[in-house]
Amino acid sequence: MTDPRELYQEVIIEHNKKPRNYGDLEPCTHHAHGLNPLCGDDIVLKVVVADGIVQDIRFLGQGCAISKASSSLMTVNVKGKPLAEAELMVEQFRAMIRGTLDTAVDPNILGKLSLFQSVKNLPSRVKCAVLPWATLHSALHGEEIVSTE
């Protein structure tokens, strides 16, 4: 990381302060609990899927700014999207963090989520950014508990 501000950009700070789609969601069709046991990030994700569309999605929990902003921005970006598109986003987000997808060069549907690209230079924080996406993947595939350790 050249400068922490590269990662801690205003959008991330702002979503950390005022997370979108924060709260409980009942009834829901899918849910999962994501944990980073090492650092204590902990999110509960609830999703309503109908007609193949992510109709609604909310999260609860605690964590660092990276995990909270990542959760918030994820919900904003997948809400209203067809399931296949949400799944593709999960895949592309993970690839971006792994460093196998460069959002500036490779075609992708990540949009604003490319803000998190610099997390790949900060290996100790990768799991914080990925936690909500891993949890979404688990929720959509019927796994109730996921750990990014």
Q: Does 62 bind another protein (CB under 8 A)?
A: yes
Q: Does 44 bind another protein (CB under 8 A)?
A: no
CB-CB contact of 96 with 103 (8 Å): yes
Six-digit token string for 88: 């593709």
List beta partners, residue 47: 30, 57
Out of 11, 38, 109, 145, the only residue in the binding site for another protein (CB under 8 A) is 38
Q: Does 125 bind another protein (CB under 8 A)?
A: yes
Q: Does 11 bind another protein (CB under 8 A)?
A: no
**Can you spell out the DSSP letters for 51-91?**
TTEEEEEEEEEE--HHHHHHHHHHHHHHTT-BHHHHHHHHH
What track of x and - describes contact with another protein for positions 129 through 148 (by CB under 8 A)? --------------------
Q: Which residues bind another protein (CB under 8 A)?
A: 1, 3-5, 7-8, 13, 38-42, 62-66, 68, 122, 124-125, 128
